[in-house]
Amino acid sequence: MADLTFDPQARAALARQVGLRLQRLRLERGLSQERVAHLAGISAYTYQKFEKGESRPGSPLNPRLFTLLALCQTLGVGVGELLGDG
């Protein structure tokens, strides 16, 4: 595994993978982006960026810990599954 601390390409790739997992999990559960965002306590715009693998336009996904936990709870998965370890 690449060193995510120093490798911006590895960070961006992981962010895209997590965004795709968020989208897949949401669709499997029949939820809208707006509903997931509401249940997780974040704005719909923020969640939409997360599914694109971004935190802000042009910057890789980097959610706060409690946002990550809220998304996992909302989607019924563990952190490892969302991040690709499970």
Q: Note the pLDDT tens digit of each residue in 59-74.
A: 899 999 999 999 999 9
DSSP-derived letter for residue 42 is S
Torsion over CA: 80, 52, 12, 46 (sign) = negative
In a domain, 52, yes or no: yes
In the chain, the number of structural domains is: 1
In a domain, 2, yes or no: no
Q: What does the pLDDT read at residue 85? A: 74
Digit-coded pLDDT (tens) for 15-60 = 999 999 999 999 999 999 999 999 999 999 999 999 999 988 888 9
Q: What domain range includes position 67?
A: 8-83
In a domain, 3, yes or no: no
Report d(CA 51, CA 47) in Å as an integer. Answer: 6
In a domain, 12, yes or no: yes
Domain harbouring 12, CATH code: 1.10.260.40
Amino acid residing at 73 = Q
Amino acid residing at 68 = L
Q: Who has greater pLDDT, 85 or 65?
A: 65
- Quick check: 86 pLDDT over 60? no
